[in-house]
Amino acid sequence: MSLEEGNTPLIKTSTFGGNFLAKFEGANPTGSFKDRGMSVAVSNASNLGYRAVMAASTGNTAASAAAYAARAGMRSFIILPKGKIALGKLAQSVLYGAEVIEVEGNFDEGLEAVLNVHKTNGTVYPLNSFNPWRLEGQKTLAFEVVESVGVPDTVVVPVGNAGNIYAIWKGFVELTQVGLTERVPRMIGVQAEGASPIARAVLEGREIPEFTESPETIASAIRIGKPVNWPRAMRAIRESNGTAVVVTDEEILLAQTEMARREGLGVEPASAATLAGYVKLLKLGVVSKEELVVGVFTGHSLKDPDSMMRAGTRRFLVPPSEVLKLVEGELRVGR
């Protein structure tokens, strides 16, 4: 089951003061990296004879599951935390014809509901990131990076449920195992201040994260208090000599506008966390200007129109006859 996901652009940036490449996952068919894993997982569900799939989601898993289920001719049940989903993502689930079940609760509670259905009713295939097939699909990002630029020094990934950072690391590790490469990049995870159990555990040198009951951040795709894949993510970070970094919502929103206005690349807030993290890591000296860093920009800006509007810009309302005067006036005062 494929929509020709993957093979996303690896774009050189020039304005952040380092050797920084952006892997633009927003170019996937539904606008996020989730498509890489969904292709494999829905193919597996189809091979096993399932007629319905299910996923709890902060939005992108839902959009992707709904699209691939549609392609496979299956029904999809999507569990969303009510009122906490970016508009573009919700609209995608509607368009692809998913059955949208909103719950009064957060993502973590939605996930428990999926596990409950999975345990008691075996006819609905669960597509959350504990599903190993999704991680197998997501690891292909590492293969593409190596094909384009070889093994980078460092890879920066935003961390929510923590499957992706592990999957990408696994991809790099497997390339060494088959003898195609000789080393694995440092994996650095970025989390938002209000949802940072893994990053804080890494930075404080603890083995086990302290979970957050009510995670809060503008970056809804990484607004997760109890990441299911935390042991795998911590392993990827530890074994690659990586680390983690925590960014604030202000830093995320600033990074989102800077990415758009300096590099022309529109990314959603969870992805902007990658740039915010990179800028902070440069400042702290954790990464150097010379080292080759790949930032994973997990989702497209169109996913979240509200966050784009928050960027703000100069807007005018004038009669058509006044436009010339206005433009000339603006050109005189400069930006």
Ligand X SMILES: *Cc1c(COP(=O)(O)O)cnc(C)c1O
135 versus 282: smaller Cβ distance to ligand X:
135
One residue of 86, 114, 159, 281 binding ligand X per CB under 6 A: 159
**CA 245 to CA 220: how far, in whole Å?**
18
CA distance readout (Å), 43 to 62, 70, 132: 16, 12, 13
One residue of 164, 191, 212, 301 binding ligand X per CB under 6 A: 164
Q: Are strands 19-24 and 10-12 parallel, antiparallel or unpaired?
A: antiparallel
Cβ–Cβ < 8 Å for 331, 324: no
One residue of 5, 251, 268, 304 binding ligand X per CB under 6 A: 268
Residue 34 found at the interface with ligand X (CB under 6 A): yes
75: Cβ contacts below 8 Å, ≥ 6 apart: 51, 52, 53, 69, 99
One residue of 8, 161, 191, 196 binding ligand X per CB under 6 A: 161
Draw the binding track, 51-70, toward ligand X (x: CB under 6 A; -: no contact): ---------x----------
One residue of 196, 217, 256, 298 binding ligand X per CB under 6 A: 298
Number of neighbours of residue 330 by Cβ within 10 angstroms: 12
**CA 144 to CA 36: how far, in whole Å?**
12
Copy the structure tokens of residue 316: 């005018």
150 known ligand binder = no
Helix (H) or strand (E) holding 250: helix 249-263
Least CB distance from residue 300 to ligand X, whole Å?
Answer: 8
Residue 217 found at the interface with ligand X (CB under 6 A): no
60 known ligand binder = yes
Residue 191 found at the interface with ligand X (CB under 6 A): no
Eight-class DSSP state of 29: T
Residue 160 found at the interface with ligand X (CB under 6 A): yes
One residue of 88, 137, 158, 209 binding ligand X per CB under 6 A: 158
**CA 178 to CA 181: how far, in whole Å?**
8
Copy the structure tokens of residue 305: 């129109």
229 known ligand binder = no
Least CB distance from residue 15 to ligand X, whole Å?
Answer: 22
Binding residues: 60, 160-164, 298
**Residues of this chain that bind ligand X (CB under 6 A):** 32, 34, 60, 129, 158-164, 221-222, 268, 270-271, 298-299
